[in-house]
A and B are shown apart, each in its own frame.
Chain A
C-alpha cells in the first residue's frame, strides 16, 4: 500500500514537473518559432503540437504549425492547420494565401459546386467572421431592437420611427441569426475533415475488406456524414461517398 502510494506520488510529481516546465504557452510558442527560423521544422512541429495539446488554441500557432508542415512537405497537415487557423481568424490574409498555395499542391481535384456571384456577395460577411464574432454582432442587433422597443413604449411621439428602425434591425438580425445557426450547425453537426495521410482508400463500408471505391490523396477536404469508432463515412460531392479509416484523416 505504501509502495503504491509512493509510486503514485512519484508519477504525480513527474507529471506536474513536466507540465510546469512547459506549461507556459508563450514560451513554447517562442521555442517553436526559433526552431522554425533555424530550419528545424520537425522540432517546430513538436513544440507547436505540444502547445496545442494543453488545451490552448491560437490562430497564430495553427498558422505557424501549418507552415512547418508545409516545409516538411506534409500538405494534408498543412491544409488542416491553415483551415483551423482560418476558423479562429477568418480574415487573416497570410493564412488565406498560404492555404491557397497549399491547396494548389494537393493532388485530388474535387468538383465542388462553385458559388455564383450573388451567393458570394450574400455570404461576404459569413466567410469573414467566426462564430463568436457573429454571436456578438447578432447580440448587438438584438439588444438594439429591444432598446428601440422600450423607447417606443415611453416616447409615444416617436413610436412610429422607433418601430420602423426596430423592424429594419429585425430584418438584419434575422439574416444574421440564420448565418449564426449555419455556423453552429457546421461546427457541431456537419464536420469537415482533411486527408492527412499520403493516401486514403475510400471503401464501401467501415471495414478493410469492403470494396475499394476510390483513393484520396492528402489535402483533400471532405464532410463527415457518419462517425463510428474507427471509420468516417465521408462525402466529397453529391455522388461521391465512402468510408475511410480515422487514422488517415483529421477533423478541422
Chain B
C-alpha cells in the first residue's frame, strides 16, 4: 500500500511536470518618463503551451497605448516545447503623476495568470535636464478652441490641428487642418497617424502645403495636411487626436568632440536620433440638424451650393428607340452623396437607370465638382414628350434655407417608327429561361368527375362472404391434408389397411350369410359366418387367417386384451359353425337368426378391443 501511494506521488509529480505551464512577466524600459517621452512596455508570456493568447490589457490610466507588435520565440529542447511571446506596447503619457500599470492578466484554459504591476513616474516637461529639441504643443492650447492657434514660443517642433468651424450643419464641409511646425532637421520622414473621424464622411485634400513661417524670430517649416469632413448626422462629435512620431537630433547626448572644428558636426555623422511623439488634443464639433421648416418632400440630404442641368443627346427620336438623358448637378458640397432627383413618370415612356459618374475637385480646399446621373428613356408612342418639372432640392448652409432648382424642360419629338414592331409572339433567340413564379398558393380545384359512392363503414374485414372465402380454403387444406395422410397410411401400413377394411368385409359376409338363411343353405350360411368372424379377427390382428387355429386364436385374442366372456362367445360360435358344417346337425332358421346376431354382437364387441 505504501508503495502504491509513493507510486501515485511519482505519477502526480510527473503529471505536474508535463502540465502546460505558463508564466507571464511585464517589463517597462524605464521607470521615470517625462511628458515628451514614451515608455516601451513588454509583456512576455512563456510556457510549453502551443497556443498563447493575447494578454488582457488593463486600463492604462494616464497613458495612450499603441501596440507595436508581437515577437514569438519557440524552442524545442529534449522534446519540451518552450514558447515565448512578447507583446510590445508603446505608452505615451498624457499627464504627470505616479501611475501603476497592471496587474497584467492572461487567461489560458480557464486559468488566470498574472504578472506584477509596474510603477511609472511621469514628470512634467523640462523637469529633467532640458531637452530643447523635444517639444509638444501644450494641451488645452488655444488650438482646439479657436480658428487659429498661436504656436508656442521657443519650441523647435510642434504640431497643431484645427477646424475652420466648430458649428456646422449635417453634411456641410468642415476643413480639418493638421499643421506640423519644424525648426530643426528630422532624421527620417515623420510618421503621421491621422485623427479618428468617426461620424464623418472624410475626404482627403491633397496636396500637402509646405511653407515657411516666422514666429517669434524662429523660422519654421510648416507642413499642412487638410481633410474635408462631412458629418453624417446631427449631434456632438469628437475629432480624435492626431499623432506624429519623428526622430529628431539628440543634441545633449551627442558625443562631445574635443576638436572645435568638428563641434558643429556638419555632417551629422555622430548625431544620435531621439524619438519624439507629438499628439494634439481632440476637437469637439457641434453638428446642427437641418431645419425642419420649409423642408421639401423630395429633399434627400444634399448640403452645399449646387446647380442642376438636364440635357438629352437628341431631341428627335423614333419610337422604341433610346434617348440618353443626363442630369448634371454641379457645385460645392459633398458630391459623392448626391442622389438623383426624382423624374416623374411619363405615360408610354420607359426609364432605365444607366449609372452615374462624378468629377470631384478640391480647389482652394473646398470639395466641389459635378455628378452626372445617366438614364435611358425609351418612348413607346409617337408624339411630344416634355421632360420637365424635374426639381432638385438642396440645403444652402450660407442662406440657412432650402433651395429648389427647377431644371429647364426638354422636349423630345417622337416620330413613328419606320420598322414594323417586332411581332410579340416570336421569341428572341436564346431566350433566357425563368423559374416559374409562384404568386400565391391556392388549393386544387374540386373534382367534377364521376363520384364513386359507397355505403358508410363498409369494411371488407367485416364482410361475412369475404371472411368465408378466406376461411373455407383453410378447411379444404386441412381436409385434403388429412385425406392424404390417410391414403399414405393405407399405402404403407398393411395391418392398418386390413384392420380398417375388416369391419367392412365382415359386414359384407354377414349380409351374404343373411341371404342364405331364407334359401335354407345351412352349410353355406355357417361357412360364411365362420369366415366373416375369423377373417375379421385375422384382419384386425394382421395375421394370415388360414394359419389361425382355435387355440392360437384364443391366445392371440387374450394377448390383444379381449375379455374372457367374449373369447368364450367366439369359441361357442365357432363350435356351432363346426357342428353345422361338418356334423350335419339339424339347424333351423331360428338358430341361424340367433347365430348371425351372435356374430354381429361379437364383431361389435371385438371392435372395442382390437
Check B444–A143 contact: CB distance below 8 A: no
Contact of B460 among A67, A101, A132, A147 (CB under 8 A): A132
A131 with B460: CB separation less than 8 A: yes
A130 and B134 alpha carbons, distance in the complex (Å)? 97
A61 to B473, CA, bound (A): 38
Residues of chain A contacted by B441 (CB below 8 angstroms):
101
CA distance A241 to B455 in the complex (A): 34
- Are A29 and B451 interface neighbours, CB within 8 A? yes
User: Is A150 close to B, CB under 8 A?
Assistant: yes
Instruction: Bits for B291-307, please: 1 = Cβ < 8 Å to A, else 0.
Output: 00000000000000000
**Chain B residue at smallest Cβ distance from A149:** B477
**Is B452's CB under 8 angstroms from A67's CB?**
no
B448 at the binding interface (Cβ < 8 Å): yes
Q: How far is the CA of A143 from the CA of B460 in the complex (A)?
A: 16
State the Cβ distance, B556 to closest chain A Cβ, in Å.
Answer: 37
The segment from A9-17, A134-142, A211-219, A228-236 that touches chain B is A134-142
* Complex contact B455–A150 (CB within 8 A): no
Contacts of A147 in B (CB 8 A): 473
Question: Can you name the residue of chain B whose Cβ is closest to the Cβ of A30?
Answer: B448
**In contact, B460 and A135 (Cβ under 8 angstroms):** yes
Contact A150 B447 (CB under 8 A): no
Closest-by-CB residue of B relative to A68 is: B446
Q: B466 to chain A: which residues have CB within 8 Å?
A: 135, 139
Contact A143–B451 (Cβ < 8 Å): no
B484 at the interface (CB under 8 A from A): yes
- Interface 1/0 per residue, A178-204 and B, CB below 8 Å: 001000100100000000000000000
Q: Given A33-B448, A56-B454, A131-B461, are A143 and B470 neighbors across the interface (CB < 8 Å)? A: yes
Complex formed: what's the CA distance from A109 to B13 in Å?
58
Kindly state the separation between the CA atoms of A187 and B446 in the bound complex, as whole angstroms: 27
User: Complex: how many Å from CA A142 to CA B474?
Assistant: 9
Please tell me if the beta carbons of A153 and B480 are within 8 angstroms of each other in the complex: yes
B443 adjacent to chain A (CB < 8 Å): yes
Say yes or no for B476: interface residue by CB 8 A criterion. Answer: yes
Residue of B nearest to A94 (CB): B444
Indicate whether A97 sits within 8 Å of B456 (C-beta atoms), given known contacts A60-B449, A61-B451, A153-B480: no
CB of B477 within 8 A of CB of A146, answer yes
A132 and B444 CA atoms in complex are apart in Å by 27
Take A135-B460, A143-B470, A153-B484 as given contacts and tell me if A102 and B443 are in contact as well, using a CB distance cutoff of 8 Å.
yes
B211 is an interface residue with CB less than 8 A from chain A: no
CA separation between A9 and B529, bound complex, in Å?
A: 82
User: Which one of B445, B452, B456, B470 contacts A60 once the chains associate, using CB atoms below 8 Å?
Assistant: B452
Minimum C-beta distance from B417 to chain A (A): 45
A98 to B446: give the CA distance in the assembly, Å: 10
Are B473 and A26 touching (Cβ within 8 A)?
Answer: no
Distance A44 CA – B460 CA, assembled complex (angstroms): 31
Q: Please state if B452 and A146 are interface contacts (CB–CB under 8 Å).
A: no
Contact check, A139 vs B470: say whether CB atoms are below 8 A apart. Answer: yes
The verdict on A57 contacting B455 (CB below 8 Å), with A36-B446, A94-B444 known, is: yes
Contact across chains for B456 and A57 when beta carbons are under 8 A apart: yes
Q: Does B453 contact A (CB under 8 A)?
A: yes
Q: Does A19 contact B (CB under 8 A)?
A: no
CB atoms of B469 and A63 under 8 A apart: no
Asked whether B473 lies within 8 Å of A143 as measured between CB atoms, the reply is yes
Residue ID in chain A nearest B451 by CB atoms: A60
Max count, chain A CB within 10 A of own CB: residue among B447, B448, B481:
B447
**Count of chain A to chain B residue pairs whose CB atoms are closer than 8 Å in the complex:** 84
- B447–A63 CB distance below 8 A: yes
Encoded as 1 (CB less than 8 Å from any B CB) or 0, chain A from 51 to 95 comes to 000011111110110011011000000000000000000000010
What is the size category of the interface that chain B forms with chain A?
A: 20 to 34
> Least Cβ distance of A125 to chain B in Å?
17
What residues on A are CB-neighbors of B259 within 8 Å? none
Chain B residues closer than 8 Å to A153, beta-carbon distance: 480-481, 484
| Interfacial residues of chain B within 423-468, with CB under 8 A of chain A in the complex | 441-449, 451-456, 458-461, 466
CB distance from B128 to the nearest CB of A (A): 75
A209–B399 Cα gap in the complex (Å)?
75
> Which B residues are in CB contact (< 8 Å) with A60?
447, 449, 451-452
Q: How far is the CA of A36 from the CA of B447 in the complex (A)?
A: 11
Across-interface contacts of B456 in A (CB, < 8 A) = 55-57
Size category of the binding interface on chain A: 35 or more
What CA separation (Å) do A29 and B453 show in the bound complex?
10
Contacts of B449 in A (CB 8 A): 60
Residues in chain A near residue B460, CB distance under 8 A: 131-132, 135-136
> A143-B473, A153-B480 are known contacts. Are A67 and B455 too (CB-CB below 8 A)?
no
Partner of A70 from the list B443, B451, B454, B469 (CB cut-off 8 Å) is B443
Residues of B within 8 A of A142 (CB): 470
Residues of B near A36 (CB, < 8 A) are: 446
Q: How far is the CA of A97 from the CA of B444 in the complex (A)?
A: 8
**CA–CA, A33 and B446, complex, Å:** 8
Complex CA gap A24/B470 in Å reads 35
Q: Are A57 and B453 in contact (CB under 8 A)?
A: yes
Partner among B446, B474, B481 whose Cβ is within 8 Å of the Cβ of A64: B446
* C-alpha gap A29/B452 in the complex (Å): 11
Interface check A205, CB cutoff 8 A: no
Q: How far is the CA of A55 from the CA of B458 in the complex (A)?
A: 11
Which residues of chain A in 229-252 are interfacial with respect to chain B, using CB atoms and an 8 Å cutoff? none
Interface centre among B443, B459, B473, B476 (most CB of A within 10 A): B443
A29 neighbours in B (Cβ, 8 Å): 451
Asked if A206 CB lies within 8 Å of chain B CBs, one says: no
> Least Cβ distance of B238 to chain A in Å?
50
User: Which residues on A sit within 8 Å (CB–CB) of B448?
Assistant: 33
**Closest beta carbon of chain A to B342's beta carbon, Å:** 41
Identify the closest chain A residue to B469 (Cβ).
A139
Interface pair A150/B453, CB less than 8 Å apart: no
Q: With A131-B461, A139-B469, A146-B474 in contact, is A58–B451 under 8 Å at CB?
A: yes
Shortest CB-to-CB span from A147 to chain B, Å, is 8
A67 to B459 CA separation, bound complex (whole angstroms): 26
Task: Report chain B residues within 8 Å CB of A170.
Answer: none
Name which of B446, B454, B460, B477 has the most chain A CB atoms within 10 A of its CB.
B446
Shortest A194–chain B CB gap in Å is 16
Chain B residues with CB under 8 A of A146: 473-474, 476-477
Note all chain B residues with C-beta closer than 8 A to A33.
446, 448
- Known A135-B460, A146-B474, A153-B484; contact A64-B453, beta-carbon cutoff 8 A: no
Give the chain A neighbours of B443 by CB distance below 8 A: 67, 70-71, 97-98, 101-102
Q: Chain A CB within 10 Å — which of B455, B456, B461 has the most?
A: B461
In the complex the two chains form, is A58's CB within 8 Å of B444's CB? no
Known: A150-B480, A153-B480, A180-B461. A26 touches B444 (CB 8 A): no
Q: Mark A92-118, 1 if CB is under 8 A from B, else 0.
A: 001001100110000000000000000
Q: How distant is the Cα of A162 from the Cα of B569 in the complex, in angstroms? A: 55
30 pairs, CB–CB < 8 Å, chain A vs chain B: A26-B451, A33-B448, A36-B446, A55-B455, A55-B456, A56-B453, A56-B455, A57-B454, A58-B453, A58-B454, A59-B452, A60-B447, A60-B449, A64-B446, A67-B443, A71-B443, A94-B444, A97-B443, A97-B444, A101-B441, A131-B461, A132-B460, A135-B460, A142-B470, A143-B470, A147-B473, A149-B477, A150-B480, A180-B461, A184-B461
Q: Which residues of B contact A (CB under 8 A)?
A: 441-449, 451-456, 458-461, 466, 469-470, 473-474, 476-477, 480-481, 484
Which 4 interchain pairs have the tightest Cβ spacing? A60-B451, A135-B460, A64-B446, A132-B460
**Told that A57-B453, A67-B444, A135-B460 touch, could you supply 5 new A-B pairs with CB distance under 8 A?**
A55-B455, A60-B451, A94-B447, A97-B444, A149-B481
